[in-house]
Amino acid sequence: LPQESIQEQYRALGPISFAERSVLVVFTATALLWVFRQDLQLGTFTLPGWGRLMPHADLLQDGTIAVCMALTLFLLPSRQSGGTRQTGARLLDHTVFSRIPWDIVLLFGGGYALAKGFKSSGLSEFFGHQFESLAGTPPLGVVAAVCTLLTFLTELTSNTATAEMALPILASVATAMKVHPFLLMIPATLSASCAFMMPVATPPNAIVFSSGRLKILDMVKAGILINLIGVAVITLLFYVLGSWVFQIDASAPPDWASPHAPSAPGPPAN
């Protein structure tokens, strides 16, 4: 891309407007409030978080900050005139609600509700316990099965919910198989991000689907092939290279993975 074209596009942007500066200030304030809400451990020094100063601090979450700062956009003016006097319409007004892509909002809301239903009904636990029947299977076959199941399960639930549901069970399965837990947990984590078929699987899919130019069947036809390629790539590359990169001995589980270990699973101390 020619540098002149980039400079031309940059000049076309013009100077930063008052509204843009206002949004930048709100965004910066939001980020700072997120970062410093909880105590920060800086070596031997602990920086107290501002959240502890608020009443009912246990109810204060990052979402609370996001909503409150978003509401300020309905109060701040979008124009400035006459010195420092601020006038004009607000940065956001009631018309913004008609421009929100509600189909995407409802799609993702349904996805999170589906993930919650999987967990509360016990269906996710049922899927997870199916891994236990693989206890006598060679490690490569188990890795392939884990990658396949997680890749297609994440099409119906969020990546985080899929990993949160599967990883504790896979850790127990690895202990029963007497293999390193990372041999199953790392491929499962990677496979939980292979969301290429369904609109609810990941935000980019939902954005494409909301255009109205694609049907779910179109996305499934294209995505299922990519899913299968992802399963093969993750399985083979991790089994071949992952064991070397992460120094995993598939036939010898570490001491900390023993069911009788005194502490929770974690990397061994140096």
- Nearest of 130, 126, 236, 125 to residue 191 by alpha carbon: 236
* CA pair distance 224, 214, nearest whole angstrom: 15
Model pLDDT, residue 263: 45
Q: At which of 98, 120, 142 does a domain end?
A: 98
> Per the domain annotation, does 263 fall within a domain?
no
Model pLDDT, residue 127: 64
> Per the domain annotation, does 264 fall within a domain?
no
> Per the domain annotation, does 268 fall within a domain?
no
Pull the structure tokens for residue 176.
Answer: 């029963």
Pull the structure tokens for residue 200.
Answer: 């609810």
* Alpha helices for the chain (secondary structure H): 3-13, 18-35, 62-72, 96-99, 102-121, 123-129, 139-153, 159-177, 182-191, 203-209, 216-237, 243-245
> Per the domain annotation, does 270 fall within a domain?
no
* CA pair distance 46, 14, nearest whole angstrom: 43
**242 and 116 share one domain:** yes
Type of residue at 62: D
* CA pair distance 32, 91, nearest whole angstrom: 21
Q: Which residue has the tokens 């140096």?
A: 270
The answer to whether the CB of 49 falls within 8 A of the CB of 38 is yes
Pull the structure tokens for residue 139.
Answer: 């490690």
Model pLDDT, residue 264: 44
Judged by phi (left if over 0) then psi (alpha if -120 to 50, else beta), residue 178 lies in left
| Residue-number span of the structural domain to which 8 is assigned | 3-98
Digits of tens for pLDDT over the chain (270 positions)? 678 888 888 888 888 888 899 999 999 999 999 999 988 888 888 888 898 888 888 888 888 999 999 999 999 888 865 555 455 588 888 888 888 878 777 776 776 777 677 778 877 667 666 666 766 678 788 889 889 989 998 888 778 777 877 787 787 777 777 778 888 889 999 998 888 888 878 878 888 887 778 888 888 898 999 999 999 999 998 888 877 888 777 666 676 666 555 444 444 443
**107 and 92 share one domain:** no
**73 and 122 share one domain:** no
**23 and 107 share one domain:** no
**185 and 244 share one domain:** yes
The answer to whether the CB of 253 falls within 8 A of the CB of 178 is yes
**204 and 243 share one domain:** yes
Bridge partners for 105 per DSSP: none
**39 and 141 share one domain:** no
Model pLDDT, residue 270: 37
The answer to whether the pTM exceeds 0.75 is: no
Model pLDDT, residue 114: 72
> Per the domain annotation, does 262 fall within a domain?
no
Q: At which of 63, 78, 98 does a domain end?
A: 98
Pull the structure tokens for residue 169.
Answer: 């069970």
> Per the domain annotation, does 75 fall within a domain?
yes
Interaxial angle between packed helices 216-237 and 182-191, expressed in degrees from 0 to 180 and rounded to the nearest 10 = 150
**120 and 86 share one domain:** no
Model pLDDT, residue 24: 94
Q: At which of 49, 73, 98 does a domain end?
A: 98
**12 and 84 share one domain:** yes
**124 and 15 share one domain:** no
Say how many CA atoms lie within 13 Å of 177 toward its Cβ: 27
Phi and psi at residue 45, in whole multiples of 5°?
A: -110, 135
How many structural domains are present in the chain?
A: 2
The answer to whether the CB of 154 falls within 8 A of the CB of 193 is yes
**8 and 74 share one domain:** yes
**160 and 253 share one domain:** yes
Pull the structure tokens for residue 152.
Answer: 């297609």
The answer to whether the CB of 235 falls within 8 A of the CB of 187 is yes
